[in-house]
Amino acid sequence: MLREFKEFIARGNVIDLAVAVIIGAAFGRIVTSLVNDILMPPIGLLMGGIDFAGLFVALRGNPATLAEAKAASLPTINYGQFIQAAIEFLIIAFVIFLIIKAINRMKRRPEDLPPTVKACEYCFSSIPVQARRCPQCTSALEVV
């Protein structure tokens, strides 16, 4: 069982996945900082000095700030933090889209590959490009 586990871990896909998870977590922290520390303050300033992280609706009581509501253990709907999380998601989704688009562009398309089969000029059956004689009609073919 230990040997099977070592073989499973040694597969390239598992190691690639582990690296992707670690890089994804680090990228997520960078995007969180980008949204919270760089994007949202100017947007809040343009909207009249709003602090998105502090936007909430108290479900009970009447606290002045989110910190007061949390200190009093009051239930709140923190829609400002949800807006920030939605912006983080959109940024990450857009970056993943760009990465996948770049990867797809780098892959060779089937139409870019040289053909491996051709049609026999006598019986029109599919034969390998290197064939000198058609296996179906036994006609001699020109080698290109």
pLDDT in tens, 72-99: 999 999 999 999 999 999 999 999 899 8
What pLDDT shows up at residue 7?
78
Higher-confidence residue of 138 and 108: namely 138
Structure tokens at 48: 């009249």
Share of the chain above pLDDT 90, in %: 45
Angle between helices 2-10 and 12-33 (to 10 degrees): 60
Distance CA 91, CA 29 (A): 12
Distance CA 27, CA 17 (A): 15
Distance CA 21, CA 9 (A): 15
The residues, any chain, with a CB within 8 Å of residue 28's CB and separated by 6 or more, are 88, 92
| pLDDT class of 139 with cuts at 50, 70, 90 | confident
What pLDDT shows up at residue 138?
87
